[in-house]
Amino acid sequence: MGIQKNRIALLIQYDGSQFNGWQVQKGGRTVQGEIETAIKVLTKESPRVTASGRTDTGVHALGQVIHFDLQKRIENRNDLVKLCINLNGILDTDVSIKNAFIVPSNFHARFSTSLREYLYLIYNHPMKSPFIRYRAMWVREKLDEEYLRKTAEHLKGELDFASFCKKSSAEVNTVRRIDGIEIKRKRDIISFQIRGTAFLHNMVRIIIGTLVEMHKENKEPEHIIEILRKKERNSSGITAPPYGLYLNRVIYEPPLTEMTSAFSSG
């Protein structure tokens, strides 16, 4: 009979600027590699961690969720608090454990997800700012957020996003559902919150790049419907830079807030 393990989920944040993406690979620093190393140092175990979704080089996370199994017993809130504190003591300053949860053995960070939310930031001002470097896409031309909202409205629902993904992703099923797109301006920052069950590779970044290009070219909002119909990557706009993209939130059912956690804020 195998040794009984307990499954732990972590809510993590990271600045993707100095990472070669999430997934462990030969050559280059990765978020997965850093976290697995920290867990090994702390627990003397070597579990493979699984994320809610991979992030590319330069992409950030405000609410990434991962899970892994430990032989070490983690039984209560105090154990989880110590786990967070000790892992953060080992990890470098550009990645942080925000919370820890004791989850059921059938919980899966990726496959148990009911909703994912991405955030994209645009710095919209004619002059550059040192404070948005590696944090937001810089667009000099004045953007009309009402135009962006009208155009993005056509992307809601279950649609074929073949025109809005990396060409290699177009070989698989490209139908996805976007549940909501919220676009807000606060002074010089325009934020895009995009929610859906799953996303294709580069899908959010291509959507943002297309919205900005359409705006610059004075295209009617309905033009994006034609881009969808063509189902060709070369019919859409540029791929927006990775550093404006944040994995903002991952939702599960039942929610992680109902699990035993280190901190009640979730």
Q: What is the pLDDT of residue 58?
A: 96
Catalytic residue check, 79? no
| DSSP-assigned letters across all residues of 120-147 | EEEEE-SS--GGGTTTSEEE-SPP-HHH
pLDDT at 231 over 70: yes
Could you tell me which residues come within 8 angstroms of residue 247 by beta carbon, excluding any fewer than 6 positions away? 52, 53, 55, 59, 60, 61, 62, 63, 64, 116, 118
pLDDT (tens digit per residue) in 177-210: 999 999 999 999 999 999 999 999 999 999 999 9
115-248 sits in which CATH class? alpha beta
Give pLDDT tens digits for 86-100.
999 999 999 999 999
Across residues 153-179, what is the average pLDDT? 89
The pLDDT of residue 208 is 98
- Tens of pLDDT, residue by residue over 38-47, are 999 999 999 9
**In this prediction, what percent of the chain has a pLDDT beyond 90?**
91
Output the pLDDT for position 60: 98
Outline where the chain has alpha helix (H): 31-43, 77-90, 145-152, 203-216, 223-230
| Residues 215, 216, 220, 226, CA torsion sign | negative
- Cross-strand pairs, 189: 123, 186
**Binning pLDDT at 50, 70 and 90, where does residue 16 land?**
very high
- Are 245 and 205 contacting, i.e. CB atoms less than 8 angstroms apart? yes
Give the type of residue at 254. P
Task: Give the global pTM.
Answer: 0.94
Domain with CATH 3.30.70.580 in the chain: 6-111
In the chain, list all ranges with CATH 3.30.70.660.
Answer: 115-248
Mean pLDDT of the chain, nearest integer: 94
> For the domain 6-111, what is the CATH code?
3.30.70.580
Contact 249, 112 (CB under 8 A): no
Closest CA to 87 of 14, 170, 166: 14
- How many percent of the chain have pLDDT more than 70? 96
Residue 260 predicted with pLDDT over 80: yes
d(CA 50, CA 96): 16
Q: Is the pLDDT of residue 266 over 70?
A: no
Residue 26 has pLDDT above 90, yes or no: no
Higher pLDDT, 167 or 218: 218
Per-residue pLDDT reduced to its tens digit, 107-161: 999 999 999 999 999 999 999 999 999 999 999 999 999 999 999 999 999 999 9
Q: What is the pLDDT of residue 1?
A: 45
Handedness of CA 140, 156, 206, 30 (dihedral sign): positive
Average pLDDT value for residue range 22-45:
94
| Catalytic one of 15, 56, 144, 179 | 56
